[in-house]
Amino acid sequence: MEILLFVLIGIVVAILIYGVLIYNNLVRLKHDVTKAWANIDVLLKQRHDELPKLVETCKQYMKFEQETLEKVMQARAAVNNAVRQGDVGAVGAAESQLRLGLGNLFAVAENYPDLKANETFLHLQSRITGLENSIADRREFYNESVNINNVRIEQFPDILVAQRLGFKAAELLEFDEAELTDVDMSQLFS
């Protein structure tokens, strides 16, 4: 009888320890997603701060391209609003519009040799391009963290702990289809 009691106590303790391990792993994954998003947020803020400088530099040369400049600033505002609201889906859509606007801006800048030679413009273009590459890298890391988290909270036996303790699936950061297609350069110059 005592052996049976010890075995039962041992099983209960093992289940509790296993539950604690699952819980700790789920907490770590949740915080990995949060940290990955924070890394993206930092880069978005840095780019957000650089864009007005780029637009001001371009305004000096691109008197007839106000629509292009306005689209970049509108997209910048949309990204900022989506980030403040914590809406990952809206960030993806706004990012697609911003990237398209920047692509158009850099393409139109090709028509202005003085602008292309401007040291400030070149520096800002290089800085923003570098930030774009970093955002793409961090987006990949974020989406991988989200995927690991989401798979884990759906797997058995983790799902038992995740459901009882309110762990939720996170949303992937996806960009619009326009982001995935090649840019038609002939449209940019017509």
pLDDT tens column, 130-167: 998 898 899 999 999 999 999 999 999 999 889 999 99
Q: Looking at the predicted structure, is the pLDDT value of residue 188 above 60?
A: no
Confidence of residue 190 (pLDDT cuts 50, 70, 90): very low
Q: What is the CATH number assigned to the segment(s) 15-188?
A: 1.20.1440.20
Question: Distance between CA 99 and CA 87 in Å, rounded?
Answer: 18
Read off the pLDDT of residues 106-127 as tens digits, 9 standing for 90 and up: 888 887 787 777 788 888 888 8
pTM listed for this prediction: 0.72
| DSSP class of 171 | P
Inter-axis angle of helices 2-59 and 88-109, nearest 10: 30
| Among 91, 88, 87, residue whose Cα is nearest residue 48 | 91
Looking at residue 115, its amino acid is: L
Q: Is-contact 86 166, C-beta < 8 A?
A: no
C-alpha to C-alpha distance for 150 and 167, rounded to whole angstroms? 9
Candidates 134, 158, 124; CA nearest to 41 is: 134
